[in-house]
Amino acid sequence: MRYEAPESVEKACQLLADDVGHARILAGGTDLLVQIKTDVLDPSLLIDIKKIQELREINTGSGGFRIGAAVTGAELKEHDGLRAAWPGIVEAANLIGSTQVQGRATLGGNLCNGSPAADSVPALIAAGAKVVIAGPNGRRELPVEDIMVGVRKLALTKGELIVSFIVPPRPKQGGDAYLRFIPRTEMDIAVVGCGVSLQLDADGTCTFARLALGAVAERPLLVGDAAKALIGSKLDAKAVDVAAAAASAACRPIDDKRGTKAFRIKVAAVLARRTIQIALDRAHGKTGTTH
Amino acid sequence: MQDKAKSPMSSEFSVVGTRPVRPDGVDKVTGRARFGADLNLSGQLTGAVLRSPHVHARVLKIDVSQALALEGVKAVVTQKDFAPQVNSTTAFGEGTLNLMHMLTNVLAGDKVLFHGHPIAAVAATNAAVAKRALKLIKVDYEVLPHVIDVDEAMALGAPLLFPDMITEGVKPAPTTPSNIAKRIDIVLGDVEAGFKVADVIIERSFKTAPVHQGYIEPHACVATVSEDGQAELWVSTQGHWIVRMLCAKLLGWDINKIKVTAAEIGGGFGGKTVVYLEPLALLLSQKSRRPVKMVMSREDVIRATGPTSGSSMTVKIGATNDGRIVAGEALLKYQAGALPGSPVGPGCMCAFAPYDLPNVKVTGYDVVSNRPKVAAYRAPGAPISEYAVEAVVDELAATLKMDPIEFRLKNVAKQGTKAAYGPKFGPVGMAESLEAAKASAHWRTPLGKNQGRGVAAGFWFNIGGETTVSLVLNEDGTLGLTAGTPDIGGLRASLCMMASEELKVPLEKIRVQIGDTNQLGYNFLTGGSRSTFSSGMATVEAARDIKKEAVRRAAKLWELPEEAVEWDSGSGSVRPAGPNAGKHTPMTLVDIARIAGKTGGPIVGYSRLNAHGAAPSFACHIADVEVDPETGKASIVRYTAIQDAGRAIHPSYVEGQYQGGVAQGIGWALNEEYIYGTDGKLQNAGFLDYRIPVASDLPMLDTIIIEVPNPTHPYGVRGVGETCIIPPLAAISNAMSMATGVRFAELPMSPPKVLAALDKARAANTAKM
């Protein structure tokens, strides 16, 4: 196994493009190293991206954020601006693993590990975040929801890597939230995850909504019908019920060791209702965290 | 936690009942303590185990030649390298021992019986070479059909693990083989007659999942065998004399060839009372003439070391309208894993033990299936059967509209109660525990929304057994105490405190160690809640031995007959007695140590005994549980464990035992289970999906120590480590029933199962309306 630690995005792309075996990107290593240790993966080349400055930074500008792919959950938590604007994203990233893991695990890694249960992904999708991808032919952007196409399958082509996430400015009277269901209180993997982002107008009518689910399909899902049910409503119980039902209807889960199909479908609606409520409270300016 | 406040009941003591810092504490919190994997020897090889990829298969051929030819591979062993063993079962501690089964568990012979079953082991210069070598071992298998579930394993036509297994304990003996290794029957009185006079009878069936002890430290050892066959073994174990005996028998070596040192241990809970890697490491070292270190991965630990049994049970209890239980009957089917030896025996004995019942009938089955062989786990067998009984007792109390504590008090086991399994109880603390529960603030606190409160009783025998302790009086009057039962839960602190109490020597003047197998006579293992009881008894005896010797030495110095000198327990010194009183200045142990040389040489207190009179410990727990009606998730919001300790030598470690048992019981009740696919392979061999509780899952676990002294122990000690894991299962289930109005009959009560049960009940209610 070869190890490289390039200092530029271009060099990293070059290494990826030139590799004839199974190269893997190493960021925090909290998924990759475990998979190597348990014989799930046997990469020929590890490309450590932690020395690439651009990937380690959170930049603010015009109200939005550009978050480097190798920024850790703990670093997100320490960024006051991001925490105030997108608490759902920050909280989601900080549900991953233990405190120690959160000091290593990165936003890019959580997405590129390709797990449908990745906690930060539904929160990023709900926020309408985009991904900047660098490759041999330059850079391109994709919405977060278009990156994961199946379990461990990404929409990246040979030589491409994720450079950063572009998160829009927090809308006025907007709020986001992420909740997951796990059998314990922490140190677990989502059985269902739900991210919601909302915006209200002056009289409290919902003008913008996105709802995304994790762990209920082969990839995280953006549930358009749930958003439709919310937009234009005052987020009354009836509208929320319709959105929750849409969340359940969107699920196409499997029975596995973490939960049954029936359980995931039901709990998706429960989490949708609860997550919408927190996002709504935040849109109304109520502060406080969910965890 | 370090206040010197004593519990009011132990006021006759000055050290016992206080909370000093444990002598092994600093090493443990600084990382200096050396656990199983912490020893490394010069020239050491890495040992690795090849495990079966099949659930059940015949082994047609094992070819190790390519592995042996790989550079860096120094030895390979298979079952053929071990001494042949006899298929014979004997009583052993809290369970039984069959050396042929143990060998088969260490390395498979002509069949592999579960996924992960060891089949061969290699020693190589490093882990990477060892891993490559495992891949070069060629095994030809003939895959056989498998069976996992206990009821399916008992069914006619089930795949047989052993074509010659005839159920023991059935007369006349069955003529056809089955997966039922043994049947056990316990009968007291006449249950049929009892049920006839019952006004209310409740019968329910239950299922529980196998659960692992979940010790944080995986199995680990280092073995080194010299050219003349002198072996040393460093190992994380609950009993190094047991490891020595088992390894000697499996290898066909004399016991004196093997010296075993117990490393510091990172949890055992019964799971480190048998051998897995140790005989392999010894044999690999003998063959390679190099030290060999072996460490299991977490996956190996869960996949191939003993959990405790899963079960299928039916319990039937009858009571009269005035709340008197008149009959109790139970059918208990326990999974043994791939080899016989489930704890169904103690399960049967304990099932109804908290109660004084006239009529009891318990039938137990020990059933093999294609799972890892079970090992002891904290009160082996008892949490399972007592869970089922306590759930039915709770439903019975509710049906009779009686308070669940009052109902239990009305039927409580007390001094003179004849237990269904035979003995009459001496003084026991079941009623005291129930009364304390009733009087607790917890019992009277109002519940919140979606919350329920459950209680449950618990009983465990506790054991004694062979024990040796030595106590050396050093030249300066300080003391060196050597015990042979590994310290898992504060033993060293408790032993020092008993020696200090007996000799009136300050704690810091006593240094304690766990000796290796060459330093003391035989010690049975730390298990059965015996170490503070047995090694404590021996420590007190050894201290009394020192006192006697001190009297002898002073008498010699003063030229008085021994009867004319006495030990003054108030001052901790020897003095002339009777007509000679006041004639000589009393001598402390410091003074005696100084004259030891000229009065007869070194002074060593010694005690070797078979500790009899271990008294049972009873408990009553109260659990408050909140159930999320929309997700089925249960959260423990308040918990109080009330248990009889006989006497709490170091109350903090008694409380620690109670809390630890409760934490494990909560995991058992709510989330822990072995999850198998239809392919018979375990799907959750890791702490991510084998869900033991994490710290944030638990509220502060409150404890109340009851002290009904055990009259056979010099300080009144009862074992406390095991009873505390028994009540949580039913206490939580009963609380969840109260919170939801639904009776649960299957563990774990994981959210998908609970939500499905709630939805079913809601649908039934809607249909009624």
Q: Which residues, 6+ apart, have CB-to-CB distance to B280 below 8 Å?
A: B47, B49, B77, B106, B107, B118, B121, B294
Cα B581 from Cα B562, distance rounded (Å)? 13
Verify that B600 and B472 share a domain, yes or no.
Answer: yes
Contact A186 B751 (CB under 8 A): no
A267 vs B: CB within 8 A: yes
Positive or negative, the CA dihedral B577, B583, B587, B592 is negative
Q: Shortest Cα distance from B117 to chain A (angstroms)?
A: 18
Verify that B577 and B718 share a domain, yes or no.
Answer: no
- Go through B84-109 and write b for each residue having 16 or more CB atoms within 10 A of its CB, e for each that does not: ebeeebeebbbbbbbbbbbbbbbbbb
A255 vs B: CB within 8 A: no
Q: Shortest Cα distance from B265 to chain A (angstroms)?
A: 25
In a domain, residue B713? The reply is yes
For B756, the closest chain A residue by CA position comes to A263
Residues of chain B in Cβ contact (below 8 Å) with chain A = 299, 630-633, 670-671, 675, 683-684, 688-689, 691, 693-694, 696-697, 750-752, 755-756, 759
Verify that B686 and B764 share a domain, yes or no.
Answer: yes
Verify that B604 and B634 share a domain, yes or no.
Answer: no
Residue B1 is predicted with a pLDDT of 37
Please give the angle made by the CA atoms of B188, B190 and B195, to the nearest 5 degrees: 120
Whether the bond into B748 is cis, omega within 30 of 0: yes
What DSSP letter does each residue of A144-172 carry, written as one string? GGGTEEETTEES--TT-EEEEEEEPPPPT
- Residue B7 near residue B644 (C-beta atoms within 8 A): no
Separation of CA B20 from chain center: 25
Q: Which two tokens stand for residue B693?
A: 């509780």
Q: Which residues, 6+ apart, have CB-to-CB distance to B476 below 8 Å?
A: B590, B593
Helix/strand/coil (H/E/C) assignment for every residue in B450-473: CEEEEEEEEEECCCCEEEEEEEEE
Contact B683 A257 (CB under 8 A): yes
Instruction: Report whether pLDDT(B7) > 90.
Output: no
Residue B696 is predicted with a pLDDT of 96
Verify that B619 and B543 share a domain, yes or no.
Answer: no
Q: Shortest Cα distance from B31 to chain A (angstroms)?
A: 18
A257 vs B299, B675, B751: nearest CB: B675
Q: Which two tokens stand for residue B428?
A: 């026991």
Separation of CA B233 from chain center: 23
Q: Which two tokens stand for residue B271?
A: 């799971």
Whether the bond into B727 is cis, omega within 30 of 0: no
Residue B548 is predicted with a pLDDT of 98
Q: Shortest Cα distance from B647 to chain A (angstroms)?
A: 36
In a domain, residue B451? The reply is yes
B688 to chain A: which residues are within 8 Å by CB? Answer: 188-189
Positive or negative, the CA dihedral A38, A41, A47, A53 is negative
- Residue B179 near residue B165 (C-beta atoms within 8 A): yes
- Residue B375 near residue B340 (C-beta atoms within 8 A): no
Task: Select from B591, B611, B631 the last residue of a domain.
Answer: B611
Residue B4 is predicted with a pLDDT of 40
For chain A, list the domains and their CATH numbers: 1-48 (3.30.43.10), 174-283 (3.30.390.50)
B632 to chain A: which residues are within 8 Å by CB? Answer: 263
What is the domain-level CATH number for residue B498? 3.30.365.10
Contact A38 B299 (CB under 8 A): yes
In a domain, residue B551? The reply is yes
Please give the angle made by the CA atoms of B522, B524 and B527, to the nearest 5 degrees: 160
Reference B596, options B542, B541, B550, B560; nearest CA is B550
Residue A287 is predicted with a pLDDT of 66
DSSP percent split of chain B into helix, strand, coil, nearest 5: 30, 25, 40
* Mean pLDDT value of segment B678-688: 96
Looking up tokens 């049970």 gives: B313
Q: What is the number of CB-based contacts under 8 A between chain A and chain B?
A: 51
Query: Pseudo-torsion of CA A271, A277, A278, A282, nearest 10°?
Result: 150
B671 vs A38, A184, A262: nearest CB: A184
Cα A167 from Cα A177, distance rounded (Å)? 15
Instruction: Report whether pLDDT(B5) > 60.
Output: no
Cα B302 from Cα B335, distance rounded (Å)? 16
Indicate the burial class of B68 (C-beta count within 10 angstroms; 0-12, 13-18, 19 or more): middle
Verify that B560 and B669 share a domain, yes or no.
Answer: no
Verify that B589 and B676 share a domain, yes or no.
Answer: no
Positive or negative, the CA dihedral B124, B129, B130, B132 is negative
Contact A263 B752 (CB under 8 A): yes
A256 to chain B: which residues are within 8 Å by CB? Answer: 683
Give how far Cα B109 sits from Cα of B106, B142, B373, B616, Å: 10, 13, 15, 40
Start-to-end C-alpha separation, chain A: 40
In a domain, residue B436? The reply is yes
Q: Supply the Cα-derived Rg of chain A in whole angstroms.
A: 19
Residue A62 is predicted with a pLDDT of 81
In a domain, residue B673? The reply is yes
- Return the bridge partners of B741, or none: none
Residue A127 is predicted with a pLDDT of 98
DSSP percent split of chain A into helix, strand, coil, nearest 5: 35, 25, 40
Cα B693 from Cα B681, distance rounded (Å)? 24
- H or E segment to which residue B30 belongs: helix B25-30
A84 vs B: CB within 8 A: no
A261 to chain B: which residues are within 8 Å by CB? Answer: none
B691 vs A181, A184, A263: nearest CB: A184
Cα B690 from Cα B682, distance rounded (Å)? 10
* Mean pLDDT value of segment B543-552: 98
- Residue A192 near residue A216 (C-beta atoms within 8 A): yes
In a domain, residue B194? The reply is no
Instruction: Report whether pLDDT(B481) > 90.
Output: yes
Indicate the burial class of B254 (C-beta count within 10 angstroms; 0-12, 13-18, 19 or more): exposed
A184 vs B631, B693, B752: nearest CB: B693
Verify that B572 and B596 share a domain, yes or no.
Answer: yes
A184 vs B631, B675, B694: nearest CB: B694
- H or E segment to which residue A25 belongs: strand A23-26
Query: What average pLDDT does chain A have?
Result: 96
| pLDDT tens, residue by residue, B227-266 | 999 999 999 999 999 999 999 999 999 999 999 999 999 9
| pLDDT tens, residue by residue, B27-76 | 999 999 999 999 999 999 999 999 999 999 999 999 999 999 999 999 99
Give the ipTM.
0.95
Residue A286 is predicted with a pLDDT of 80
| pLDDT tens, residue by residue, B696-755 | 999 999 999 999 999 999 999 999 999 999 999 999 999 999 999 999 999 999 999 999
Task: Select from B593, B611, B629 the last residue of a domain.
Answer: B611
In a domain, residue B627? The reply is yes
Verify that B542 and B567 share a domain, yes or no.
Answer: yes
Residue B588 domain boundaries: 465-611
For B127, the closest chain A residue by CA position comes to A37
Q: Which two tokens stand for residue B184?
A: 């056990």
Looking up tokens 């090493």 gives: B27
A185 vs B: CB within 8 A: yes
What DSSP letter does each residue of A98-112 carry, written as one string? -HHHHTT-BHHHHHH
| pLDDT tens, residue by residue, B427-469 | 999 999 999 999 999 999 999 999 999 999 999 999 999 999 9
Verify that B508 and B622 share a domain, yes or no.
Answer: no
| pLDDT tens, residue by residue, B181-220 | 999 999 999 999 999 999 999 999 999 999 999 999 999 9
| pLDDT tens, residue by residue, B578-605 | 999 999 999 999 999 999 999 999 999 9
| pLDDT tens, residue by residue, B266-279 | 999 999 999 999 99
Interface test with A, best of B694, B753, B762 (most A CBs within 10 A): B694
Q: Shortest Cα distance from B276 to chain A (angstroms)?
A: 21
Instruction: Report whether pLDDT(B226) > 80.
Output: yes
Task: Select from B548, B576, B611 the last residue of a domain.
Answer: B611
State how many domains chain B has.
2
What is the β-pairing status of strands B360-368 and B180-188?
antiparallel
Verify that B478 and B580 share a domain, yes or no.
Answer: yes
Contact B684 A260 (CB under 8 A): no
- Return the bridge partners of A177, or none: A196
B751 vs A183, A186, A187: nearest CB: A183
- Residue A238 near residue A284 (C-beta atoms within 8 A): no
Cα B450 from Cα B457, distance rounded (Å)? 24
Verify that B550 and B577 share a domain, yes or no.
Answer: yes
- Residue B499 near residue B543 (C-beta atoms within 8 A): yes
A193 vs B: CB within 8 A: no
Task: Give percent above pLDDT 90 in chain B.
Answer: 96
Please give the angle made by the CA atoms of B657, B659 and B661, to the nearest 5 degrees: 65
What DSSP letter does each residue of B623-692 carry, written as one string? EEEEE-TTT--EEEEEEEEEEE-SS-SSHHHHHHHHHHHHHHHHHHHHT----B-TTS-BS--STTTS-P
Which stretches in chain A have pLDDT values below 70? 287-291
For B686, the closest chain A residue by CA position comes to A38
Contact A186 B630 (CB under 8 A): no
Positive or negative, the CA dihedral A180, A181, A185, A188 is negative
In a domain, residue B652? The reply is yes
B684 to chain A: which residues are within 8 Å by CB? Answer: 257
Give how far Cα B168 sits from Cα of A217, B75, B93, Å: 50, 40, 20
